[in-house]
Amino acid sequence: MTSAWVAVLSQGTPAAAWPAGTFCTVTPVWRNAPPGTRADSKQHESSQLCDADSGLESALILRRTSARKKKRCDLELQSLCPKLCLGNNTIDSVTSAQALRGCTVIQGNLIIKIRGGNNIAAELEASLGQIEEITGYLTVRRAYALVSLSFLRKLRVIKGEHLEADTYSFYALDNQNLRELWDWTKHNLTIQRGRTFFHYNSKLCMSEIKKMVAITGADSRNQKNDIAGRTNGDQASCETKLLKFTTIKTTFNMIMLKWETFWPSDFRDLLGFMVLYKEAPYRNVTEFDGQDACGSNSWTIADVDPPSRPTDGKKAENPKHLIRPLKPWTQYAIMVKTQLSASDEAPGARSQERDHLRLDQRIQSLCASGPHLLLQLLLSDHLEVETSHQPQRQHHPLPGHLSETA
């Protein structure tokens, strides 16, 4: 009677090659054994693994891998190894940001005043995107290159142990292009001590500031003059309407979109629509991710003409656009915005940017096999998606067939 341990790492590393100090409980699978043979479990000694070179912390976990309830051990990424960075850290260039790459805790203060450079948004996210905690304060002052703070993707706590001007744990002054802080539907931030300061952020709407103050818990501590109503958002279009997608059709390399039409009070103000899309490895994507005031933009933009109007003697129809070619097995974020002529009386409209589609290379052969599609539609709440339980068919759709979700 022979036995084989189903204890192999996902990379194919045999159990004998596990690093010292690892563990996983596995059950042996007995080959050619008489019925009723009992398989005893075995545990390997262990602890978490921390790779000093990559800064990644992993663990061996036990998985059931099939309907036969077989078990195996997989090496799974758990989190980043904690990395503390001390002192007052001033970010005024890409180089200074790179000095904090991999930091998860700023033991001190973070001061951002970057004014220019190449590919600023992507560089800041790569260098500062793992910061989870700031023990002191966060200051963003005259950072003309920034349109969003979403590059601080994992920031969850500002403790305020040290305060700007002995008063403020979050301080935003004279950021001419800052339009968004974070996507508050997906980001949670707590300010434990201190007040917030917002002055002369001309494109940052007051609604965005109020969301942050309420969510972070700083509202009860703030005073009247901490936030200026006249100098924040005074050059922004802060009133927008929500565009809703009505239909999404997908293949392994295309997306067909339809959305509700939008007409301003003077229809001549509508120049058209912009369809924005990009690969989205993360799900908490916002419009300003990958953008900066120096021209960098990670979104691909397609222009769409306004649809026919009923008054033109034609039937009213919703605008639509076909996005192609796309990469199979890739998650995408999509968004639609209006493009209006310069008019003070023409509020714009936009869809929510939280719509994600993951394209499956084999969708053309799977779309007839019921609800268990590898195609994932991770859509925002304003679009309800249903997958019908249809009986399995004997034929497969031709490549390029559009599978509809509406």
**pLDDT digit string, tens, across residues 228-252:** 989 999 888 776 777 888 888 888 8
- pLDDT exceeds cutoff 50 at 403: no
- DSSP state letters, 17-78: GPPTT---EE-EEEETPPTT-----EE-----EEETTTTEEEEEEEEE-STT--EEEEEEEE
Among 2.30.30.90, 2.60.40.10, 3.40.50.970, 1.10.3720.10, name the CATH number for the domain at 239-359: 2.60.40.10
Q: How confident is the model at residue 81 (pLDDT cuts 50, 70, 90)?
A: low
pLDDT at position 224: 92
Q: Sign of the C-alpha dihedral, residues 379, 385, 390, 395?
A: negative
Distance separating alpha carbons of residues 23 and 279, to the nearest angstrom: 36
Interatomic CA distance for residues 250 and 164, integer angstroms: 50
The larger pLDDT score, comparing residue 388 to residue 170, is at 170
- Residues forming CATH 3.80.20.20 domain(s) in the chain: 84-221
pLDDT in the model for residue 392: 36
* Residue from 191, 242, 233, 231 nearest 212 by CA: 191
Sort strands 138-141 and 105-112 into parallel, antiparallel or unpaired: parallel
pLDDT tens-place string over residues 13-33: 333 344 444 444 433 434 444
Q: Are 284 and 153 in contact (CB under 8 A)?
A: yes
Query: What pTM was computed for the model?
Result: 0.56
Q: Mind listing the pLDDT tens digit for each residue in 383-397?
A: 322 222 333 333 333
- Which pLDDT does position 32 carry in this prediction? 43
**Mean pLDDT (whole number) for 321-340:** 85
Question: Any idea which fold 84-221 has?
Answer: 24 nucleotide stem-loop, u2 snrnp hairpin iv. U2 a'; Chain A (3.80.20)
Residue 10 buriedness (CB in 10 A; 0-12 / 13-18 / 19+): exposed
Average pLDDT of the chain, as a whole number: 71
Alpha-carbon span 7 to 62, nearest angstrom: 9
Q: CB within 8 A of 59, min separation 6: which ones?
A: 48, 49, 75, 76, 78
Cα 254 → chain centroid: 21
Asked if residues 60 and 46 have their Cβ atoms less than 8 Å apart, the reply is yes
For the ranges 11-25, 42-56, 169-183, 369-383, the lowest mean pLDDT is seen at: 369-383
- Residue 349: pLDDT band by 50, 70, 90 thresholds? low
CB atoms within 10 A of CB 88: 13
Q: If pLDDT is split at 50, 70 and 90, which confidence band does 127 have?
A: very high
Q: What does the DSSP assignment read for 118-136?
A: SSHHHHHHHHHTT--EESS
- Outline which parts of the chain fall under CATH 2.60.40.10: 239-359
